[in-house]
């Protein structure tokens, strides 16, 4: 056995005491090779006949490892095999959630993606300005793409020799969130890359963003990720709660992620014409990112928005039960840990406005369309929280009020609803009223 093979075996025998574990050292290398452990009866010629793309490819493996006798291999020894000589079967990823527009480019042809559609090695997946898409890989790992993202599938295969999987995605634009099911052994690898850096994982929840040559961002929510810029220099280990901004110059700036921001009005029913959330400002934040999904795992994301202020508006949304999560954004561009909560969307819309009655009264009208009991409140213009009029159980859709003095008032309509066994009171926004006679 040559010095090169002996050195490789020595390195593989080092205990896992470094900050960067051995599996991460192997996975973070941008090398197209695997490490194979010799078994009883193995010969390079025999391996080549069964598992290499060409029976003579064993000569390439022989040269790569400095071997002189391909028929005499020590059981338990480890050899390096270029992946280019290995037979493999292609895997695929399934679209399990899709909102808005998304398409896949395959062999130079672009086509729309549909729920249940599949993507495979060599495909390029893109989401539109309103697109949200989640892919699920064989084995259960998921990759979520928000709007304006572009991802290329570099590798998605299983090598017949080791039965290990090779997953390699490249983020060419935008952001992704990846949930990786723990890999069973060192025969498999999972990598996500940008044009600047490579992130290697074995089981974790993390996000990657790429918006230009000096803006490659990795954020680890759970587990561990290893970031490497060029495949040769030292890797940066990121545990959960940490992130790194990598640049094309080779610099990797590691920092702790901002803590989850708090909602200013937790549990508030979203009854206004647009859905919006107010957050308590986070120290050190330069912006905020909010996403809405139909499920707590945020597989089916339906909306998202960023804002430089802690008040974020997300536009219209159909009635229903949803989940929302908020992240604070650091000056580096890294998004912090998420704060989640469930909320109810129940639009309350007035379909008419106050009018003057023939007797000098003010006539208020509303229409919720379902005949439920409503509550009417009228306030003066002083900002007092105590209503001048509070009618709690009206079964009609109008009310006349007499004797109002000149001035500015506000009024609103509330409704009590049963939402899955939980009674909630939702209100329309305060509407202005000016009495001038």
What is the CATH number assigned to the segment(s) 355-435? 2.60.40
Contacts 24+ apart (CB under 8 A), 199-204: 199/225, 199/226, 199/227, 200/24, 200/27, 200/28, 200/225, 200/226, 200/228, 200/235, 201/27, 201/225, 201/226, 202/23, 202/24, 202/27, 204/179, 204/180, 204/240
Which CATH number among 3.40.50.2000, 3.50.50.60, 3.40.50.1220, 2.60.120.1440 corresponds to the domain 88-256?
2.60.120.1440
pTM: 0.76
Which DSSP letter does residue 70 get? T
Listed in order, the ranges of the chain carrying CATH 2.60.120.1440 are: 88-256
pLDDT digits 0-9 by tens, 342-394: 998 987 665 667 888 777 789 888 776 555 678 899 999 888 889 999 998 88
pLDDT at 272: 80
State the Cα angle at 355 between 353 and 359, rounded to 5°.
155
Which CATH number among 3.40.50.300, 3.10.350.10, 3.40.1190.20, 3.40.50.880 corresponds to the domain 3-85?
3.10.350.10
pLDDT digits 0-9 by tens, 229-248: 865 567 889 999 999 998 87
Mean pLDDT for the stretch of residues 184-192: 82
Across all residues in the chain, what is the average pLDDT? 85
% of the chain at pLDDT higher than 70: 86
pLDDT digits 0-9 by tens, 386-435: 999 999 888 888 889 988 888 899 998 887 766 556 666 777 788 888 88
To which residue do tokens 């202020």 refer? Answer: 309
Which CATH number among 2.60.40.10, 3.40.50.1580, 3.40.50.1820, 3.30.70.100 corresponds to the domain 276-345?
2.60.40.10
244/182 Cα distance (integer angstroms) = 22
Q: Identify the band that residue 95 occupies on the pLDDT scale cut at 50, 70 and 90.
A: very high
pLDDT at 20: 38
pLDDT at 267: 83
pLDDT at 373: 76
- Residue with the bigger pLDDT between 248 and 326: it is 326
Other Cβ atoms within 10 Å of 240 Cβ, number: 16
């Amino acid at each position: 056995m040559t010095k090169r093979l002996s050195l490789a075996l020595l390195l593989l025998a080092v205990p896992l005491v470094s900050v960067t574990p051995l599996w991460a050292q192997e996975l973070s290398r941008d090398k197209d090779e695997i490490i194979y452990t010799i078994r009883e009866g193995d010969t390079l010629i025999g391996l080549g006949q069964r598992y290499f793309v060409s029976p003579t490819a064993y000569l390439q493996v022989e040269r790569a490892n400095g071997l002189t006798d391909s028929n005499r291999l020590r059981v338990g020894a480890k050899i390096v095999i270029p992946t280019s000589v290995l037979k493999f079967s292609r895997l695929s990823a399934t679209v399990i959630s899709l909102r808005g527009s998304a398409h896949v480019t395959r062999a130079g042809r672009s086509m729309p993606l549909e729920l249940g559609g599949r993507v495979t090695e060599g495909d390029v997946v893109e989401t539109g300005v309103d697109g949200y898409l989640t892919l699920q890989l064989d084995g259960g790992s998921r990759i979520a793409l928000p709007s304006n993202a572009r991802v290329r599938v570099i590798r998605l295969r299983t090598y017949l020799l080791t039965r290990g999987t090779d997953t390699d995605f490249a983020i060419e634009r935008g952001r992704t969130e990846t949930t990786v099911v723990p890999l069973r052994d060192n025969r498999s690898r999972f990598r996500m890359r940008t044009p600047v850096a490579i992130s290697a994982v074995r089981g974790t929840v993390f996000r990657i963003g790429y918006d230009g040559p000096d803006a490659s961002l990795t954020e680890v929510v759970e587990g561990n990720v290893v970031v490497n810029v060029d495949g040769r220099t030292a890797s940066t280990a990121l545990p959960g709660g940490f992130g790194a901004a990598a640049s094309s110059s080779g610099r990797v700036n590691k920092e702790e992620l901002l803590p989850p921001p708090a909602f200013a009005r937790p549990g508030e029913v979203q009854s206004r014409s647009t859905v919006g959330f107010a957050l308590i400002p986070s120290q050190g934040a330069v912006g905020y990112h909010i996403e809405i999904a139909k499920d707590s795992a945020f597989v089916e994301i339906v909306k998202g928005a960023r804002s430089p202020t802690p008040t974020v508006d997300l536009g219209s949304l159909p009635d229903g039960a949803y989940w929302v999560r908020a992240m604070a954004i650091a000056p580096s561009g890294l998004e912090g840990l998420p704060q989640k909560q469930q909320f109810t969307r129940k639009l309350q819309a007035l379909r008419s406005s106050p009018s003057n009655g023939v007797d000098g009264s003010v006539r208020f009208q509303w229409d919720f369309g379902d005949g439920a009991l409503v509550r009417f409140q009228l306030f003066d213009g002083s900002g007092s929280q105590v209503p001048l009029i509070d009618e709690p159980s009206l079964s009609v859709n109008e009310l006349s009020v007499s004797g109002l003095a000149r001035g500015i008032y506000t009024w609103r309509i509330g409704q009590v609803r049963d939402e899955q066994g939980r009674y909630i009171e939702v209100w329309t926004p305060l509407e202005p009223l000016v009495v001038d006679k």
